[in-house]
């Protein structure tokens, strides 16, 4: 064969090898396409690609090599090895390393099964790792210098293609991880939606219970007020009835007895009026009206008169004459009743001379209602919890813990306002801000 023929022959074989590189972005398939041709055309026994772990894995070690491809598998034994320091040094001066069975270092390079003799030729694959080729023939090198030079470029191209495969592999892994995360998120969302639905149902049930309890609590307060309200007239009725009995025994004149009866009837009528007032209190408004706030406070004062009186508390208010508040009457009435009742109870056990509850209402665009008591204020460690349902500082059996929670709920949900509290001047100041208009807010 002429020299030209030889060159053409070499070129066509190199052409076949070069074209077999990079036909797949899958690392193993890319290696397989190329190395099967290399094994067949060069009649080699084994080819392996060892890649640095840090090129393949995020936490990989640069001195640890992983077997990424080995053909035939018959020879495969070790799959992960520590890179021999000597090998790195060798490739600083050489393009390849050939090592034959006679070499004292031969065994250091045997990481395969069934190899006791023969020759290895190792090529670096850029900074990715190594290509290890083996032939059972014990020649000093099964490639001559010319072949090495020819193959050098092919192997460089192969290394570049491997970089592409590794990037592709990483990208696929990232996409898979993202997909997995999305699936997990989607699953979580489904679970979350489910949990939210359950929570909403539970919350509604809680609201129902809360409303029922609130109603019962309010009724308790009212009954308490009625009891206070009725104690005095009942005493009077009882006294008048006793007087009638004495008058009858003594044979007093009829006029005296009639006066006592009239008195009893008058008191009974007053008591009946009280019940009507309280019953009216429980009816909720469906319409917004202009409320004469002073008249409302007089009513509340009347209802709470007995408690105020027995605790020696002065209820006062500072309101511009004829001031009207445009909102739901029954709701604002309940809020004020609860707040004043709460303020009265704050004085329990407190010996103080000038006990007072003072209320101011003004309009600065929004309505601002401020209720102040001088009962010593609220402890700082609980001031943020006092609007929580069932939170109470009262002894068990003496408070539901719902009064302030009901107020907050009514103010925010129905009246579209807000309520806050702070300690000031040895007392507590509750501030309620209500919108100027509720039109279109409660559709």
Partner 1 sequence: MIIEKATNEKILTTVEELTIPQGKTLFLLLGEKGNYDLKELQIALKERGISFFGALFTSVIYGHKKYDDGALLSLLDLEEKPYVIEGLDSDEPKLPAVFEEEAFVEKMMDRTALVIVDGLSSHIATFLSNLYDHFGPGVNYIGGGAGSLTFVKKPCLFTEDGIYQDGAIVAFLRQQINLGVRHGWKKVKGFLVATKSQKNIISQLNWQDAFAVYRKVVEEDAGVELRVDNFFEVAKGYPFGLVKENLECIVRDPIAINEEGHLVCVGEVPEDASLDILRGKTEELIEAAGLAAEDCFLEKATNYSGCLIFDCISRVLFMEKDFERELTVICKRVEQEMPHTPIGALTLGEVSSYGDGYLEFFNKTIVVGVLYERR
Q: Quote the distance between the C-alpha of residue 259 and its chain's center.
A: 72
> Is residue 16 involved in binding partner 1 (CB under 8 A)?
yes
Q: Which is nearer to partner 1, 15 or 282 (CB)?
A: 15
Backbone angles phi, psi at 261, to 5 degrees: -65, -40
Residue of 80, 127, 137, 310 interacting with partner 1 (CB under 8 A): 137
Residue 141 Cβ vs partner 1, minimum distance, rounded to whole Å: 13
Q: Which of 76, 80, 166, 82 is nearest to 128 (CA)?
A: 166
Secondary structure class of 101 (helix, strand, coil): coil
> Is residue 259 involved in binding partner 1 (CB under 8 A)?
no
In contact, 421 and 388? CB cutoff 8 Å: no
For partner 1 (CB under 8 A), the number of binding residues is: 30
How far apart are alpha carbons 236 and 246 in whole angstroms? Answer: 15
Q: Which is nearer to partner 1, 41 or 79 (CB)?
A: 41
> Is residue 238 involved in binding partner 1 (CB under 8 A)?
no
How far apart are alpha carbons 7 and 58 in whole angstroms? Answer: 44
> Is residue 73 involved in binding partner 1 (CB under 8 A)?
yes
How far apart are alpha carbons 125 and 49 in whole angstroms? Answer: 9
> Is residue 114 involved in binding partner 1 (CB under 8 A)?
yes
> Is residue 75 involved in binding partner 1 (CB under 8 A)?
yes
Q: Which is nearer to partner 1, 72 or 102 (CB)?
A: 72
Q: Which is nearer to partner 1, 42 or 170 (CB)?
A: 42
How far apart are alpha carbons 274 and 396 in whole angstroms? Answer: 29
Q: In the 8-state DSSP scheme, what is residue 414?
A: I
Residue of 45, 119, 341, 342 interacting with partner 1 (CB under 8 A): 45
> Is residue 346 involved in binding partner 1 (CB under 8 A)?
no
Q: Which is nearer to partner 1, 42 or 356 (CB)?
A: 42
Residue of 19, 188, 208, 219 interacting with partner 1 (CB under 8 A): 19
How far apart are alpha carbons 272 and 282 in whole angstroms? Answer: 16
Structure tokens at 427: 């007392």
Structure tokens at 209: 């219970």
> Is residue 140 involved in binding partner 1 (CB under 8 A)?
no
In sequence order, the 6+-apart residues with CB closer than 8 A to the CB of 5 are none
Residue 86 Cβ vs partner 1, minimum distance, rounded to whole Å: 28
Residue of 41, 258, 362, 385 interacting with partner 1 (CB under 8 A): 41
How far apart are alpha carbons 255 and 273 in whole angstroms? Answer: 27
> Is residue 12 involved in binding partner 1 (CB under 8 A)?
yes
Residue of 56, 87, 136, 288 interacting with partner 1 (CB under 8 A): 136
Q: Which is nearer to partner 1, 5 or 380 (CB)?
A: 5
> Is residue 40 involved in binding partner 1 (CB under 8 A)?
yes
> Is residue 43 involved in binding partner 1 (CB under 8 A)?
yes
Structure tokens at 171: 């990208």
In contact, 213 and 402? CB cutoff 8 Å: yes
Binding site for partner 1 (CB under 8 A): 5, 8-9, 11-13, 15-16, 19-20, 36-37, 39-46, 71-75, 114, 135-137, 147
């Amino acid at each position: 064969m002429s020299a030209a023929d030889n060159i053409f022959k070499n070129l066509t074989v190199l052409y076949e090898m070069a074209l077999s590189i990079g036909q797949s972005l899958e690392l193993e398939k890319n290696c397989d396409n190329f190395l099967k041709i290399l094994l067949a055309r060069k009649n080699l026994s084994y080819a392996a690609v060892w890649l640095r772990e840090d090129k393949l894995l995020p936490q990989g070690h640069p001195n640890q090599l992983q077997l990424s491809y080995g053909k035939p598998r018959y020879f495969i034994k070790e799959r992960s090895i520590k890179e021999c320091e000597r090998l790195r040094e060798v490739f600083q001066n050489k393009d390849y390393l050939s090592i034959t069975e006679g070499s004292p270092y031969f065994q250091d390079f045997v990481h395969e099964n069934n190899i006791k003799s023969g020759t290895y030729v190792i090529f670096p694959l850029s900074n990715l790792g190594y290509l290890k080729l083996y032939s059972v023939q014990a020649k000093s090198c099964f490639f001559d210098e010319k072949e090495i030079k020819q193959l050098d470029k092919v192997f460089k191209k192969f290394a570049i293609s491997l970089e592409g495969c590794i990037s592709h592999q990483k990208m696929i892994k990232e996409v898979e991880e993202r997909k997995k995360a999305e699936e997990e998120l989607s699953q979580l969302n489904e679970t979350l939606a489910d949990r939210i639905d359950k929570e909403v149902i539970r919350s509604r049930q809680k609201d129902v219970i809360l409303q029922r309890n609130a109603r019962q609590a309010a009724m308790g307060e009212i009954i308490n007020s009625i009891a206070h309200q009725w104690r005095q007239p009942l005493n009077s009725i009882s006294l008048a009835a006793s007087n009638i009995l004495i008058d009858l025994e003594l044979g007093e004149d009829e006029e005296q007895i009639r006066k006592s009866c009239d008195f009893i009837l008058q008191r009974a009528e007053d008591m009946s009026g009280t019940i009507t007032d309280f019953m009216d209190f429980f009816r909720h408004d469906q319409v917004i009206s202009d409320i004469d706030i002073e008249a409302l406070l007089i009513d509340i004062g009347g209802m709470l008169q007995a408690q105020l009186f027995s605790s020696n508390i002065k209820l006062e208010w500072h309101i511009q004459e004829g001031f009207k508040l445009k909102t739901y009457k029954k709701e604002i009435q309940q809020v004020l009743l609860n707040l004043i009742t709460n303020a009265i109870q704050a004085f329990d056990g407190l010996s103080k001379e000038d006990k007072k509850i003072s209320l101011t209402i003004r309009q600065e665009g929004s309505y601002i209602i401020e209720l102040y008591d001088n009962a010593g204020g609220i402890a700082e460690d609980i001031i943020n919890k006092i609007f929580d349902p069932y939170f109470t500082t009262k002894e068990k059996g003496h408070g539901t813990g719902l009064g302030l929670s009901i107020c907050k709920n009514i103010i925010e949900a129905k009246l579209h306002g807000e309520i806050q509290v702070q300690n000031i001047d040895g007392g507590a100041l509750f501030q309620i801000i209500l919108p100027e208009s509720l039109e279109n807010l409660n559709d």
